[in-house]
Structure 1
Amino acid sequence: MGVLLPTGRRAARTFLLDVALPRLLATAERIAALLWLIATALVAAASSLRRDAPRAATAALRAAISIRAEVPRRYDAASRAIDSWGERSAIPAARRADAELARWSRRVRDRAVALTTTAWRVGQERRPRRIPRPRLWMVLAAIAFGGAWLGATAVWAALPDPSQLETAEVPYSTFVYDRDGKLLYTFEEEHREHAALADVPLILQQATIAIEDRSFWTNFGVDPGGIFRALVTNWREGYVAQGGSTITQQLVKARLTGDDQTLARKLNEALIAIRVTMRYPKARILELYLDQVYYGNRSYGVKTAAKTYFDVTDLRQLTLGQAALLAGLPQRPSIYDPVTNPDGARARRSEVLAAMLAAGFVSRDEAERAADEPILVHAAETPLSLPHVVFRVRDQLAEVFGSERAAYVGGYRVYTTIDPQLQAIAERQVKDRVAALASANVHNAALIAMDPRNGYILAYVGSVKYDDQDPRVRGQFDVAGLGERQVGSTFKLFTYLTALRKGYTPSTVLWDVSTNFAAAGQPQYRPQNASPSGSGAGPENGPITIRQAIRESLNVPAVKITSLVGVDEIVQTARQLGVDREWDASQLGLPFGIGAGGMTLRELAGAYQVVADGGVRIEPTLISRIEDKDGNVVRDWSQPEGTQAISPQLSWLMTDMLKDITDPNTSSIFGSWTNIGRTAALKTGTTDNLRDVLAVGYVPQLLTAVWMGNSDNSQMYGISSAMGPGVLWREFMKEAIGQLQLPETWYARPDGIIEKTVCVRPGLTGGVGSGLLPGPNCPSSWRTVEKYIAGTEPKTDDSAFFGRGCVNAAAERPEWLPDVMKWAQAYKNYRLGLPICGVSVRSVPQPANTPAPPRKRRR
């Protein structure tokens, strides 16, 4: 029915649609309504009628339902007949079809008269005049039934008039502002264009009915079977995988009852849906629904959606694949968005096609061809400021109000945390730095800047350029908020925090030598340190402290810590810092400890916020205040609550180690690239084959996280995390600190932190040292002051580490001993002039877990 017809057949179709069908529907509606009332009256009076009354009521109900079901079937049969007629015979044939439909209508009317007569006779026949003694249960039953009937009648009468579907008040728009009051965007529900059902192709109607309400043409507004199937499916899947509402119920919820999750509203919705079904033809209900429903990306109504996604203005030009994709969007438009999540959209389209196949609307060949159609989404125009910010604000509104739709109908005024001056600096710095690194095949970047003291996101750049469609950029995709990518060595924050939590210290010595971590019989796993040049393997440094391992971003010591403390403990630390991911520790290997697990830049920045604010977890926010349309404050983030996620001592000690990275006096590799002229903490990261480079760093008043790479995951060349995102971080921090006029401050040392002098060579690139109290053989120039959480400081000297003028190598585990021995033989005289005395296995203590920090709230 969606194809263009010759003139004669088009005229026949118009005749059938405009003349025959309205007459048929009007007659059927009147008859069905009459039978419905007869059945209701018979059920109500059943206590005083003969036993035949319920059977008569049932017959009337069945007749009403069958009449409703027969109308679309008769109309579809006539339509198919018209399609098969020739040009000249179309009009006469249409008139013959009309005559046939009229004869059927008269037969239905005769049937209704017969049923009415039977019901009347049953109602007139009373029981025998002998009235038995009334029994108490009969009296109570009569009273209860009468009360229920009166109550139901009152509820029914109080329901909204179904005609309000077409006269419902227009929802209020929601306005989004930056922190200075400049309008960024307006969320509104009225971005729609009307489409008559006659203009909606049959394939799109069928796709919608198949996936949303397959009993639409036959149900009476609600579908008990569909509700039961949804309950079973959701129980089996463990989440809300399928809804039980009919198309009519969804329309009622959208226009009349709202979406409050209460039983009373759901009951009202069902009753109103029944009334709507009695009042409106099914075709009209479907038309209203297709005009009402939200398809994502500011597109309300199917005609607007087709224009937005496919640049199609004539719906009859939609392919089956496009129709199926559109039909699948209303359930979860942001999740199945073909712009930001084409894989999710493709999977949802397959679900719709499978439902159409099961309903007999398409053949298997048609469904398979449609499933193979490429998803070519039209790049819709977006006349808005800071689109990535605006869309993440929408997501936060959905979290606050429980529905994405609240952003479009609530009439709110939303004030964001975005500082326009810092936003401009961030956008310019990202653009300039990406352009400067184009020769290294760097084409995209993202940046998030926040105040760690309150979680306010001050600048947010999701991509280098929003409307850049280059596959290496995909500017409309928000890498900062949606891009789940490996984060490289920036993940070592979680690894080493776990080590500190388990009793390890900044001076704990690990042997940085090439080590096979695979179990016996498994392929070797030998992680390598990154080369300072950004390519190839880095050197093996031998005995090195945790502080030095963090400063030089060495991989082998981090993997050893992962093995010693356990992956599950690192997962626990990440969750303490707010990374809410369903990581299965049993499925994660040792590479997890050096960044093999994916997360978004926003999640990473949120985790670093905890360390940057003394261990207090505050959920990052893009919204500072929400007001309703009358100016009343609905939600305020000006005094956020915080939870003490880790102890202040852990936070301070980690920050104390991270600040070494930006100091040229302690880090020759990173310090020269990342120094901002004041003390700052930083961690950089690089993933395998230079797919991603990152930097996350902070001062007490400002935290900035940077990602650089390509959206198509192509490799970069000749770049390191220091010279790429490290420099971008440095330049942004320097300019932002100046713009905000932030005073130079640093973190006060909390109680419970002590200092000890230990034996560690304070070299720039690692070196030898015991990490213990200096013994008689520790060179005097290696005596270094280190910080500890009280109780974890070393208690013994390093006599066992130093022999007389030589070093005793010690593997952390027996299975690592062969690799330490191999290294010791290669470095027999060692590069510092101290020979290796011998090799042994060092006992690594497994301290008890530190107690959980107390919960803390701040206002």
Structure 2
Amino acid sequence: MSNLLRTSRVLAWFILTGLSVAVIVASSFYLYLRPNLPDVDQLLDVKLQTPLRVYSKDNRLIAEFGEKRRAPVTIEQIPTIQLQAFMAAEDSRFYDHFGVDIKGLVRAAIELISTGEIQSGGSTITMQVAKNYFLSRDRTFIRKFNEILLALQIERELNKEQIFELYLNKIYLGNRAYGIAAAAQVYYDKPVNELSLAQMAMLAGLPKAPSAYNPLANPERALIRRDWILGRMKDLGYISEEAWALAKDAPITASYNTRETEVNADYLAEMARAEMVRRFGEETYTDGYSVTLTVDSEKQQAATEALQAGLEDYDRRHGFRGAIGQIDVSDLSGDEISRQLLNYPQVESLVPAVVTRIDDEAGEVHAQLRRLGTGIIGFDTMTWAKRYRTENLTGPEPKKPSDVVSVGDVIYTKILELPQVTELPEANDDQPDPEDAGAGTLKAALAQAPKVEGALISLTAKTGAIEALAGGYSFSQSKYNRATQAQRQPGSTFKPFLYLAALENGRTPATLYNDAPIVFDDSELEDTWRPQNSSGQFYGPTTLREGLYRSRNLVSIRLLRDLGIQTTLDYLRQLKVPTNNMPSNLSLSLGSGLLTPMELARAFAVIANGGYDVQPYLIERIEESDGTVVYEAPETILCDSNCDQLAENENATDIQTDELPDTEGMALPASADEPEGPRVMRRLADERSVYILHSIMQDVIRRGTGRRALALERSDLAGKTGTTNEQKDTWFAGFNHDMATTVWVGFDQPAPLGRAEYGASTALPVWLDYMKVALKDAPAATMDRPNGLASIRINPQTGERARPGEDGVFELFKEEDVPAPLSADDNGSGLNGESEGLSRQIF
């Protein structure tokens, strides 16, 4: 008995000593680690890493930037049964313990002693919050001890609901999904409150091992894990026997879902992203900003499609350049062919395919399409494919499919008709489709990825808001934004600004200039210059109105010589048209300077709105993740007089820049210290001069080079085509009083487009397709006729008042520029009196 008592005492002493040592060691660790532990109060104001999202003004998703998909939710938004599923999987005693589960820790300690590492973790939900928000993922004793200490602190500072909410928003659930809401969207394309019991249990099984129990990557293991959680929920009394049985029999319904972008606006998205990073730094990608742009989704989609269609049409007109590659299909299986096709990326809607068989008799080409199985290309879609030789020359028209392609050729196709069982793949999807075979036979057309490029910019004329922008054929192929970065010669689209300068300097639409040959031997031009009209003909004395709407080059040259180059450049600066890349010689009159499409579009917006300064802007509003608005675009006020006083009274931003600001940074004010309130935009041109120019540019569409625009059947449109030497740049800029849209087409490395190509044949069709949508159901928007104008009947041959009984036309004049009445002895020669000045201008 005494031996037993002695043994008991010894054992008790060892236990007490062991506990004392454990307490001392634990206290030592605590004292050592406590100063380095993070402040738990940070959790009260935690910022979850949430991606930047960019939306159109009608709330359509344009883009999402950030590595982590997350959509924070409150615990009230999560169904109770979903909370119970996570408790069954991770911590069934969550509401009972104080942040640490002793049983779990003992189990983890035994694993550490026996295996040298911790396998099961023993972590409560609170401990996982500590780990996910503050600690590394290393499986070490020190990290585990820190985790315990932090969990105890968290339980003291926060209630259980706050802890659970933090957990469910932070936990990683695979496939870049962080948090329960993001996972519900990624795996089931549903909000959390619409998930079934089986789906809830499946998601609850992911935190333990997001890859091993992933229903997409490892469906069998995921199913075992789901069913185990359902059993735990039944045993814990969370669900009934009947609910358990139904959920256990449910199949796996998970699929990979990303939040689809709803608008094709990659160039705009990149502009917004760059502006946000400039403004907010790298936090742009993690702080959950929502950026609303000025663009309308329908107009933006129309802009993208119109530009792509126009570039494809040009490309087809100039012939087929042949296969983009070769695959020897003779000894390859369908799967091997599919894998080789992955080396050829999809470009927008153009799908790579390899020719597997040609049937000339049936007029069909059989092909295997990238990720879409087999398809048939009808010869009726191939008749355009004359062989390309030069920009001016193509081969003969093909008579049969084998004239165009050969077996093994890799070509681009456009899908015409898809079997219902097949979905068109996303562009740039690098994964082979395991269901290629059996996808069905589809119908496709022969296509070709254009080498030619272009840009379209559409602005709200009175504010500068960007309504739509397309910076090229395909952002995935080239991120170079031609709308804002391409410095190109505007050609004849520059002429309206020269003519506006003339109207502001005493000339009238009736002023005559001679459309006749002229030769310049100017050292600045490096060679003898013999300018011509595009027609190669000359038409003699011509009014300014006809000279502009018929785009007569010699009229423009003589006009510039008469006005003076410096006077013209000064006036361009007054209009805030950039002049740093403008020549100081007469070639300026033909648009030989350099402007970006955005700069030109902005200048035409000034004409469209009646002569007021506007600056393009893209970002309408920025919100933080909680909905707090941190930026909203100010109202624009168009000002005619007393602008300084107006700016002061309205606490407004007075825009007085000399030239157009950097279009890459156009979205936000440069400094947060700039005054809030409306932006005051000053008048840059006499509204009478602008109104007269409107009427001349309307003639461009009614009877000049822009006649194709008559197809819109609108009376409020004005515009100007443009084509540079050797057809290297082609343009159309058109507008009404509300909207100004400019289109450019050309090669990135300037090269001739072809002798038959002009602004009217390349850029105008793009503009037309876009404006059909942009102006749909929009009422006519015309500039009101200002005071101080007179309509006078003139003789267009002389530019003077028409004599009684003489054929004439009505012309607009400023009151101070009205032609003098004819004298009684005037013989109508046009060379007497007032016309003496005109004769000097003619010659």
Q: TM-score, normalised by structure 2?
A: 0.47
